[in-house]
Amino acid sequence: MTGIKLIEGGVCAAQGFTGAGIHCGVRKNRTKRDLALILSSVPASAAAVYTTNLVKGAPLEVTKKHLENGLARAVICNSGNANTCNADGIEIAEATCALLASELGIAPEDVVVASTGVIGQRLSLEPFKTGIPELCKALGPNSHDVGEAIMTTDTKLKEIAAEFTAGGKTCRLGGIAKGSGMIHPNMATMLVFLTTDCAVSPEMLQKALSTDVQETFNMVSVDGDTSTNDMVAILANGLAGNAEISSEGEDFENFMRALNTVTVHLCRCIAGDGEGATKLLECRVTGALDKAAAKTAARGVICSSLLKAAMFGADANWGRVLCAIGYSGAKVDIGKVGVAFRSRAGTVRVCEMGAGIPFSEEEAKAVLSEDEIEILVSLGDGEASATAWGCDLTYDYVKINGDYRT
């Protein structure tokens, strides 16, 4: 994308941000990091979006309160325990912030706190008491460690950073994410932490994030379950030296493009690393009557368990695409719909004007045997388009979730 350059560094790529990830004892497995920290050297504008699940993790409630003033300095997150549906959950989350604040010499209200893992198990404060001093000592350009420490059933590290220009200054924006199961479009969809040295007012930062997630994280689905602890948070510390972005304009548009570059990459990472997944699915809908119809149709396709199972088996069962569009609620004339499958192995058209057309099953099998598959849907009703991401449904998904607590 013009003007945007991908770089190394993840959440530590932007000036003034450091990170750390250690094992503190929340998880029994000593080989897995379970406590992560991101720190800005100066106060930063902050914004976040949260799960719409009525059952919310205690850390989300504390973070919402802390971000009422639009400012933050640090993000702390544990994995292995969601701190959800616990009588003392709020107390534990607040105490965690207080412990970190005391160690760093900042205000507890300047801490974003998050947890991920098993729901309904009490979270002890003891691992934080012993772990936070060690965590703070480990601070450095350690985005990899931070990313590993927030993982649960993830099998791959998810991070990215990009460089762009705002106000004539070079700015950087990086991010990490965790998400493999309980992923379904209904903001939020996972844990994502973003950092930038671009100067952006809290109001415009919230506007940028809230707008972007509608086209990115809200368009990802792995299994149809909306988590209790989902959060996407972003900190902007202004150390790039640009004039603060406080209104719409060219600089805000550049920032939005950089943000979207990072979030789309993380969406693809999350969808491709769905629990038990072997394939990344991307549904591109074009020719919709309006944006709402395009998004509804794309999400309908990507959420279909039958289609996901067919993709696992490399079966070009295109009728499942039309079926999903039909019950999605999108305003569509099924008699105009076209469907094709595309991957590195080629493209095979399977449906035109709502009806099947002759195609080679052998070619289709080859196309659908790749690890990244595009499902191309043309609606023929208008000019609007949308993209959604997901993964195939495999035997391993059931195995993983059949004994998740062990």
For residue 398, with 0-12 CB atoms within 10 Å meaning exposed, 13-18 middle and 19 or more buried, which class applies? exposed
DSSP 8-class letter at 167: T
Distance CA 311, CA 290 (A): 28
**What does residue 393 show for φ and ψ, rounded to 5 degrees?**
-110, 120
- In the sheet where 346-352 sits, what is the strand order? 355-356, 346-352, 338-343, 372-378, 280-288, 384-391
| Cα–Cα nearest to 133, from 94, 105, 152 | 105
Give the integer Cα–Cα distance in Å for 209 and 197.
15
- Which residue has tokens 């569509």? 332
- Of 37, 33, 126, 113, nearest to 80 by C-alpha is 33
Helix (H, G, I), strand (E, B) or coil at 249: coil
375: helix, coil or strand?
Answer: strand
* Per-position DSSP letters for 98-149, written without gaps between them: HHHHHHHTS-GGGEEEEEEEETTSPPPSHHHHHHHHHHHHT-BS-HHHHHHH
| Sequential DSSP letters for 3-65 | T-EEES-GGGSSTTEEEEEE--SSSS-TTS--EEEEEEEEEEEEEEEE---SS--HHHHHHHH
Single-letter code of the amino acid located at 73: R
**Closest C-alpha to 304, from 215, 173, 393:** 393
The span from the CA of 76 to the CA of 95, in Å, is: 12
Q: Which of 116, 189, 196, 263 is the catalytic position? A: 189
189 is catalytic: yes
Neighbours of 362 (CB within 10 A): 9
Active site members: 189
